[in-house]
Structure formats: C-alpha cells, structure tokens
Amino acid sequence: MAAILPSDPAATQVAPVRTGRRWPLWLLALFTVALLPFAIGSDYLFSAILVPLLILSLAGLGLNVLTGYAGQLSLGSAAFMAVGAFATYNLQLRLPGLPMPLAMAGGGIVAAGTGLVFGLPSLRVKGFYLIASTLAAQFFIPWLLSQYSWFSNGNDSGVVTAPPLKLGPLDLDSPAGRYALTLTIVALVTWGASNLVRGPAGRAWIAVRDMDLAAAAIGIAPGRAKLFAFAVSSFILGVAGGLWAFTYLGTVEPAGFDLDRSFQILFIVIIGGLGSIRGNFLGAAFIVLLPVGLSIAAGVLAGSQVDPALIENIQKVIFGILIIFFLIVEPDGLTTLVDRALRTQFRWIGSRKSGNQE
Amino acid sequence: MSFFLNVLVGGALAGVMYALVAIGFVLIYRASGVFNFAQGTMILFAALTFANLVEMGAPMLLAFLVTFALLIGSAFLTERLVLRPLANRSVITLFLATLGLSYIFEGVAQIAWGTQVHSLDIGLPDEPVDLFGLSISSFDLAATAIAALLVVGLALLTGRTGLGLALRAVAADPLAALSIGIRQERVTVIAWSLAGFVALVAGLLWGARSGVQFSLALIVLKALPVLIIGGFTSVGGVIVAGIVVGAGEKLAEIFLGPVIGSGIENWFAYVLALLFLMIRPTGLFGQRDLARI
C-alpha cells in the first residue's frame, strides 16, 4: 500500500515545475498564428477546427490546474462544462440586457461553486479515490440538468438553441466572429490562469501536489489550496462549457458533456503535458487534428468506402496506444518534446526558457 | 411488503454481478497495485469473442478456452508492454495507462467482431422461481450461485495456496517479495489472467442476461463505487457492497424515483460511495493502512 502514501517519491513526480518566463518571441509567434486564419478565412477552418480546438484547450487548462498543478485527479470535467453552459444560458435568459461576456463569466462562477461542492471530499481522500467524487458529479449533474426542465426553460427535449452572439453593436454570429470571440476569451482566461499558477496560489498547489504533509509544514493549508484549485479549475471549465454551447455547438444540451468528453479532456492534458499551460493547446490540437488526419489517411488508402465505425475504432486503438506511449516515453507530454526539439534546433530561443527544470 | 422484498432481492442479485466485476479489480489491485479501468472493456472483449466464436459454430467449451487463452495472452502483453515499463510510477499514472488499455481493448474487440448486439444463450433457464413466497428469476439464482462459487474458489486460491501467498506477498511489499525470490512479473501475469477469467465469467453471465453489446464495458463504472464502499482489498467486502449497491439503487429507483425523477440508478451508487468516503474512507471491510488522509 506504500504506493499511495505521500512519502513515496514516485507518486509525487506527477509533473515538473515550470516557472520560467516566456521569451517575448513566443508571444509574437502566437499572435501571428492566431491572426493567420483571418487571412485564410475558410469557414470550415474556423468552425470545425479552430473553435473546438481553442475551447478544448481551455477545458484542458481547467483540468490541468486541478490535476497537473494541484495533483487532484478528476473524471468529471465535462459536468462542470455543462454547468457553465446552462448557467450562462440561464443568466442571459433571466437577466435581460446582461452582456454576453458577463453571462459567460457568471457561468464560470456558478461552475466554480459547483466544483467547490464536489471538491469537498478532497479534504478527506486523495489520489484516485477522488475519482468517485468527480464521477458522481459527472453522472449526477447531467441527470439534474435534463430532469428539471427549469434549466432548459421548460424545453421538453432539454435541447435549447443558443441565442445569436451579439456584443453591443457587434454581430459575432459569423464563423470568423465566433472564432474571434472564442480566441479573445480563451486568451484572457489563459493569461489569467498562467499568472495564477506562477503566483502564490500556483506555488501552493504545486507544493500540495508534490507532498501535502511538507506543504502543511511550511504553512500552506492543503485543504484550502485544494478547494481553491477545484474552484479555479471549475471556473475555467465552466467558461469553456459556455463557449462550447454558444460559439461551437449553437445549442445548449447535456448530451455533449458526457463521460467521453471528460476522458477527452483528460487525454488532452496527458498528451499535452501535466503542469503546463502550453501543453493544453498542443494536446487539444493533437486530439482535434488526429481524427481529421485519420479520416483523410483512410480516404487516401482505401477510397471512400471505409466504414466510419471502423475508423472510429481504429482511432480508439491509436488513442489508447498513444496514451500508454506518452506515459511511458514522455510523461511530461508534447510540450516537453517540443521544448527539446526547439532547444536542439534553435538554441538561441531555448536558452532561458526552461526555468528550473531538471 | 412482498413487493418491497421482491425489489430488494432482485436488486441484490444484480448486485452480485457488480461484485463479480469488482472482484476482478480486487485481484489486480492486490497483486500489482493497479486500479484497472480496463476491466470493463475486458468483459466486453471476452463476451464479444465468446459470442462470435459460438455463432461461428464452436462448441461452448472450446469458445470458452479460446477466449480465456486470448485473455491470458493479453495479460502477458499488458505486463510486458505496459506495466513493466511503468514500474515504480505513481498510482495515477498506472490508472491512466489502464484507461489507454481500455480504449485498446474496446477498439480491438469492435474491429474484430463489429458493433452489433449479440444475444447469448449459455444454457441457463430464465423462469420465475417461487422461493419463500418471492418470485425470483432462475437465471439470477444460477448466476448468483456461479458468482458465489467463483468467489469461494478465489478466496481459497488466494488464502490457501502457495500462489495465493505469492500474490499477497507482492501486494504487501513488492521489494521484499522480490528479494525472497518471488517472480513479480509472473505473479502479475497470473493476477491479470485470473482477472481475465473473472471478466470472462462476468461477461458471459451479464451478456446472457442483457445481450452482448458495448454497454457491458460500462459495468466498470458501477464496480467503482462498489469497490469504494467495500474496500479495495477485501473480496468479502466487495460482495457485500455489490449487494448493497444493487439493492439500494433498485429501491431508490422504485421508491424515490417517483418523488425526484427517474434515472436515479445512474448516479445512486456514486452518491452512496461519496457518503462512504466522507464517513468511512476505508470502506466496509478495507484495511486501515490505506492511508487516505
């Protein structure tokens, strides 16, 4: 049973500490990459790839705060996204005139409160016992949302169409507008979260993750740090859920926020890299682009008669193998791979970047 | 009153099936400290393979043996390709690896055998039997008897044989077990094969009851709260917890459902497990040294 005691060194090395400041060049590159799609202007690119990619990155960030930084495993991410989506919808519905970004922030806050409640067991249990609590959220919340029609404003099917996206005089209902809105919100939240994880809160999370007894000994309250991580994580997931419903799907329904979504977010975090901000984007890009790539490859290899169910199953096997592969070969995820590649290829960029990583 | 008892007994018998699935977890957890999420898709894989072999005309015994052989093979592969490279990594890492494993089992099973639902007849009659004034399905009774046999067999195996001693030694202290010459990798393979056997039996019973289909893999989600309530290390506790969960969720669905809405079954077990975690974190019969503080 030693394996789950906090004194086991292997159990504590979930992810490295990354504290280094980013080279400004990164920012410039990112800015260019973010604006490039406007020059291309393909609707498919916007609404089928970039918008879900950004939102899933944000969801990954939410889970990463909890799992990567604070070390609390969760399988209920999608439930908190659902809370965010429904809260955003209800805030807009019941408080007419509330600007949409505020409604989304409000959705995040409601999700944060829900996250706090389901995070309470983390005060008593840890490790994968927490799975039970987060899975309880994953099964209970969508049930609640579809059971009581108040949440969907009396809609029998539980599926409601999201209202058109407007920000004051700006009409954001076009694919490019949705992308711009998503990009802005994702960038803002990411900026806030990356400041948070580098500040005292993030230090406290990492300390609790690495060894909660030691953290308590140096004056960090592990319980408070964990609950705060649950709140922040759920806030980010809630905003991601609001975006998912409003800018990606265009409908608000519990069905899209099932256990598979939670797993998907978990995979983004693992593949991208636990305890990394950038990793979420790399992981999400991987998760979104892999199916696209696979179906193109299948089309090239076998013509158009490939059974979509077969592709889906092959995808599952590949996902499974990749997860195990990453856990074995590169537990720190794509972000470390990219770092290493950059360090060897462009020494002048990577010189200051990696902070106090061993 | 008799309606209440009928619901209670019916639920409890379903709970025995949950327990059967959960025992697969306990076996692997005790031998290799891994929380094996793939147990559910192992059941799917086993049941699909068996059903297809039988449909292709293989006799049941042959189909059973071939499927079991495949599960032993996958236990070898899992040990060699997944667990050995991940030795000494954190419990969470190992859990995530079994999540990956679960996807592989699911994908491979469905690539090989397709996704359609198979009905499976393993020769157990399904008729209502009158027992002490209660009407109980004979299938459930037989399934319970099989599960009980399996549990007694496993308890004897782990309690009374050299192999069981080795299993427990590895669970108690892997390093000490290694140093006195126990081959840990062999013990791991045996534990996973045994879990495969349990998965096969569970898959056959459950598949015969409700059809061989993807939902078999979802039983794993019911087994998890059962494990938490029963305690991760106790076979007996898991049985009791399985019955408690099975009976509890049926009772809740029927008597609480009309009040707060149907579909309680999906989350009841988790809420119960949550309460246990808050009040009695070691489960009903779990060992105290599971420091969960």
**pLDDT at residue A348, rounded to an integer:** 56
Q: Does A194 touch chain B (CB under 8 A)?
A: no
ipTM comes to 0.82
A357, pLDDT greater than 70: no
Q: Which of A70-84, A145-159, B70-84 has the lowest mean pLDDT?
A: A145-159
* Among the listed residues B29, B39, B98, the one whose alpha carbon sits nearest the alpha carbon of residue B283: B29
- Per-residue pLDDT averaged across A224-252, rounded? 92
Cβ–Cβ below 8 Å for A314 and B274: no
- Range in A228-237, A303-312, A328-337 with the lowest mean pLDDT: A303-312
Q: In the predicted model, is pLDDT for residue A232 greater than 90?
A: yes
Q: What is the pTM of this model?
A: 0.83
Question: DSSP labels for chain B?
Answer: -HHHHHHHHHHHHHHHHHHHHHHHHHHHHHHH----TTHHHHHHHHHHHHHHHHHTT--HHHHHHHHHHHHHHHHHHIIIIIITTTTT--HHHHHHHHHHHHHHHHHHHHHHH-SS-B----S----EEEETTEEEEHHHHHHHHHHHHHHHHHHHHHHHSHHHHHHHHHHH-HHHHHHTT--HHHHHHHHHHHHHHHHHHHHHHHHHHH-BSGGGGGHHHHHHHHHHHH-TT-HHHHHHHHHHHHHHHHHIIIIIHHHH-S-THHHHHHHHHHHHHHH-TTTTT--TT----
The CATH number of the domain holding residue A141 is 1.10.3470
Residue B249 in this model has a pLDDT that exceeds 80:
yes
Q: A136 or A47: which carries more pLDDT confidence?
A: A136
- Residue of A313, A319, A330 to mutate, interface with B, max B Cβ within 10 Å: A313
Q: For position B292, what pLDDT does the model report?
A: 42
User: Which of A146-155, A289-298, B92-101 is the most confident on average?
Assistant: B92-101
| Nearest-neighbour CA in chain A from B274: distance (Å) | 6
Is residue A30 one of the residues assigned to a domain? Answer: no
Q: Name the band, by pLDDT with cuts 50, 70 and 90, for residue A109.
A: very high
Cβ of A125 within 8 Å of Cβ of B103? The answer is: no
- Structural domain contains residue A316: yes
> What confidence category does residue A342 fall into, taking pLDDT thresholds of 50, 70 and 90?
confident
In chain A, pLDDT over 70 holds for what percent of residues? 82
Query: Where along chain B do its domains lie?
Result: 2-279
Residue A197: which domain range? 43-350
Provide the pLDDT confidence category of residue A241 given band limits of 50, 70 and 90: very high
CATH architecture for residues B2-279: Orthogonal Bundle (1.10)
> Taking a C-beta distance cutoff of 8 angstroms, is the pair A59, A240 a contact?
yes
Query: Rounded mean pLDDT of A74-95?
Result: 90
The count of structural domains within chain A is 1
- pLDDT of res. A338: 82
The mean pLDDT value for A193-202 works out to: 90
Contact residues on chain B for A328, CB-CB shorter than 8 A:
82, 85-86, 97
Question: Among A201, A218, A89, A221, which Cα is nearest to A150's?
Answer: A89
pLDDT class for A43, splitting at 50, 70, 90?
confident
Q: If you measure CA to CA, which chain A residue comes closest to B99?
A: A320
Candidate ranges A12-26, B3-17, B179-193; pick with highest mean pLDDT: B179-193
Q: Would you place residue B29 in the very low, low, confident or very high pLDDT band (cuts 50, 70, 90)?
A: confident
Asked whether residue A28 is assigned to any structural domain, the reply reads no
Residue recorded with tokens 């979260």: A193
Q: What is the pLDDT of residue A101?
A: 85
pLDDT given for residue A15 in this prediction: 52
Residue B72 has pLDDT above 60, yes or no: yes
Position A354 pLDDT exceeds 50: no
Strand partners, B128: B137
